[in-house]
Every structure is written in C-alpha cells, then in structure tokens.
Amino acid sequence: MKLTIGHLYPELLNLYGDRGNIQCMMKRSLWRGIEAETIAFGLEDSIDFSKLDIVLLGGGSDREQRIVCSRLRDIRENFHHYVEDGGSVLAVCGGYQLLGHYYKTEEDTLEGLSLVDLYTEQGEGRLIQNIVLQSELFDMPIVGFENHGGRTCINNNKPLGKVLYGAGNDGKSGYEGVVYKNVIGTYLHGPLLPKNPQLADWLIQHALERKYGKETELTPLDDSQEKEANDYIYHRFVRG
C-alpha cells in the first residue's frame, strides 16, 4: 500500500510548523509498513489530483493568502472533483478559509475555492490562544493553538468539534472547524497532527479506504506519549 500526500504551496502556507502535519502522516504510515511520499507544489506547478491521496493546505498570513488566491481559480475544478470523489484534505487556518467561498478582509475580498459551503470575514481583533475541542469523531479531545483574524461561518456543515476552551470558528458559535466528506478544515495550528494522532489516522484511514477498499484496518501504534500530552493540555485548560 502507498499514500501520496500533496502539500500545496508550502513556501507560502506554512505557519507555526504546519509542515509537521506532513511529517506526522508520513511517519505514521511508514511505521505501519505503508509506503508514503510527499509532493510539494509551488504556485507555478500543475497539480494532478488523480495521483493524490491526501492534500494539505497550511496556514498563511493575509498577504500570503492573497498571493495563493491568484492561482486558485486554475485548480478549483480538479480540486472539486477530488473532494467530491472522497479525497482526504486537511486545511489549516488560512488554508481552511480558502476552502470556502471567500475571505473578506478590511482591504479586499479574496475569492476562495468554494469546495465547502462556508465563508470568512475579518472581525475586530485576533483570536489568539490555546484551544481544546471535543469532536464527535473521537473520544480523545483535540488540542491546538489558534491565531486568526477571520471569523468563519460554516452554514449547515458539521463542525469538527465543540469548543471546550478557546474561541473557534467565530468566537461565539461554540464550534470549531468543519468536516465535509473527507475534508477537515480547522483553525488549529501547532502543528495539529502530532498532537492529535487520532486525526492523523482519520485522514490516513479514509485515504486508504478510498484507494484500497473498506476493509483497510490501521495497525495501532504506541501513542502513550501523545495521549499523556493531550491529557495534560485538557486538564490545564478545561479541567484546571
């Protein structure tokens, strides 16, 4: 078995170690004897989505998002087919915002990919803090760090989780992120996946199922250290 991960525009969308998400998925695959490779795409590269099993869009500043935006129209249609076909995607912060219809800043409105029915508008002040969620997808809480000026409205989509500590999508709905088909959009940096191995495995599992069929089962790994760290954060911010 083999997974190919597409890393979109890492020279622009790579805040707070979002690249660590790639390393985490690579390692967790390799440790299980699943071959894994990553292809990094620059703005000038053409992307063959049919070759990809997981796509990562990391976070970026408004300036970097603006640059990436100029390229989105060219990839939108193929990316849309990939998502509708069940392709796995992890989109973090700036990348999450770009999944939606638009990101409206004080200066302008950046047109997004419209892959998920959501939109983002800049609010007053930035939402910067540690964040803890409870997701319906997992027993273990999801932990991370958020830093965004945009407030995201996910319309009727399912959120990634309920906010136990922190601001989340807009600081008031009480929810964070989005889950649409096999796409996860979230404001959590950190990077997200090494802190939340359950999420990394969710992406890997869905990618393998799409490629090789439903019977794929992931060999359990020793996540005791990750669980301990997760538990520490949960108790520090939620149960403190």
Q: Least distance to ligand GLN from the beta carbon of 18, Å? A: 8
147 binds ligand GLN (CB under 6 A): yes
78 binds ligand GLN (CB under 6 A): no
149 binds ligand GLN (CB under 6 A): yes
Q: Dihedrals φ, ψ of 205, to 5°?
A: -60, -45
Q: Least distance to ligand GLN from the beta carbon of 195, Å? A: 16
DSSP letters, 58-127, are ----HHHHHHHHHHHHHHHHHHHHHHHTT-EEEEETHHHHHHSSEEE-SS-EEE---SSS-EEEEEEEEE
User: Which member of 14, 29, 65, 169 binds ligand GLN (CB under 6 A)?
Assistant: 65
Contact status, residue 127 vs residue 146, Cβ threshold 8 Å: yes
Q: Least distance to ligand GLN from the beta carbon of 173, Å? A: 16
148 binds ligand GLN (CB under 6 A): yes
Q: Dihedrals φ, ψ of 199, to 5°?
A: -75, -40
Residues touching ligand GLN: how many (CB under 6 A)? 12
Q: Least distance to ligand GLN from the beta carbon of 84, Å? A: 25
Nearer of residues 124 and 217 to ligand GLN, judged by Cβ: 124
Length of the chain: 240
**Residue with tokens 């525009």, as numbered in its chain:** 9
61 binds ligand GLN (CB under 6 A): yes
Nearer of residues 62 and 117 to ligand GLN, judged by Cβ: 62
How far apart CA 198 and CA 153 sit, in angstroms, is 25
Catalytic residue positions, numbered = 93, 189
CA–CA distances in Å: residue 202 to residues 11, 58, 92, 215, 235? 26, 18, 16, 14, 24
The contact set with ligand GLN (CB under 6 A) reads: 15, 59-62, 65, 93-94, 147-150
